[in-house]
Structure 1
Amino acid sequence: MSHTAHIPSHRKPRRSAPTTALRAGVAGGVLSTIAVAGAAGPAQAEPVTRTIEMPTITDGLSTAVAASAQATQQVAQDLRTQAQQNEAAASAAKAAKKAKAEAVRKAEAKKKAEAAAKAKAEAALRASRTQARTTLSAPTGGSPASTSVASSSSSSSSSSSATGSAASVVSFVKAQVGDAYVSGGTGPNSWDCSGLVQAAFRTVGVDLPRISQAQSTAGTQVSLSNLQPGDILYWGGAGSAYHVAVYVGGGEFVGAQNSSTGVVQRSLSYDPPSGAVRVL
């Protein structure tokens, strides 16, 4: 035995061939991969382009948009129409208000004018009656007492001389005593003053005017101191008389006085007339 047999060897143990071959293969593969990567390293990747397709507007959507636009136009037109109608209504209301105010003003003016005319007529009536009474009470060539006696005597004598047509007129008006007074009345049961006188003379064929103003000038003017039955008495001026009646003799007359008394027979002193006319 060698003297170095028990001394361990410092050589590396030999590896088996399969293990060495496996490692060489792995190393070769790694080097190949690195070589390939190095050769391809400088090249850059191409950018990826993606196309996005936008949806197209279909026919149905176009129709809806058109309908919406039409509806908007219609609403605008309706608003304009409503505004015009409101303006027209406001103008009409303003015109109506102005017309009403003008009508009220005219009505008030007319009412005032009528009131003034009525007051003037009443004043004229009072003045006429006062004048008539003054004329009748004034002396005419003798004392008031003698004048009154003469008048009464004349009236008494004339009352008994009513004949013919005059008597018919007197009989007619006396027959209406108690009837109602109605303005514009011409009988047979209601009268105004001139309607009664006209109807009385119509019974004897005399056609008198309808109103008192014309009747006060329809015949011959006679003195109140020389009255005869059938004479027409009037109150106010000749041609402007406001009341008429028929003298029936005995110092009395019959006339349609007013709505309170109706047709009455009264003494001349009850309401002295202004004058008289003789038709018959």
Structure 2
Amino acid sequence: MTANSRDQILHDFYRMMRVYKNGRVERLVGTEYAPPSVDPTTGVQSKDVEIAPEINVSARLYLPKTPIPARNFLFLSTFTAAALLLAPEHPLPIAYEDSWLALKWAASHSIGNDDEEWIKDYADLDHGYLGGDSAGANIAHNVAMRVGSEKVEWINLNGVFLNCPFFGGKDPMGNESLTTYAFQKNFLDKLWPFACPTTTGLDDPLINPDMDPNLSCFGSKKVLVYVAEKDVVRERGFYYKEVLEKSGWNGDVEVVEVKKEKHIFSVFYPKSDNGIAMLKRVGSFLNQHKANDMFDSKNFGLASFE
């Protein structure tokens, strides 16, 4: 094989990845690996656990510095944001299936599964939450749909948090046709069928919730959506609220817009003023069922998906 053929690009998703005709995948982001540790600032501990080793499904757990039995939250995450959407090696719907498996595994500790002592001893399994950033927010939505449709009695889902959710559709919406965004609509339109080869198209319910005839079955009564003013998928976040409410779903959804920010700003700049403000708002959302408790950001471990 010549050097020229090795360098021929089949799919070019600049800023994210390139796929070459010889099968080589060059990842431009999401290649870093952070091992489990104890955060020196917050004292939050983390560790990796195997959920289904036969299919290589693992999770990372987080525990506050001073955990209180049955009152602390544990956040499940893959080791890097990109690992959730590793097309072409692991195309969708694998990420949906793996996330659903992880949720069931965590929740099963309420019915006698003693696999993981951190969950058994410290997790409040009566109040579960899903959340994610960008593609991870898409996954959180679709897992919540599965919670509502399959009705596993031992999964208690109190709320869903979506940060700059990766939703789309065949027809442009709002300012999606503008070319001033880092990721334009035509880029995302090409990315979706690459990530999900079995998709029915850009109006697939997996990426366009408005096309889901079962949207009213969404498995949580509370949803918090964050959008960024300078994000190409901004309008999709507002539209998500609209279609949820008109579907017949019986719940409350709030959209918060952050001015002057771009896509998943809190992931890239978590210590910025807007990043910290969002963290505190999410903490309040997660603790909404604790009427007499106050949120302490130093006792809060967050795993987010990009």
Report TM bin, short chain: under 0.3
Give the alignment's TM-score, normalised by structure 2: 0.22
Task: Give the structure-1-normalised TM-score.
Answer: 0.23
More strand by share: 2
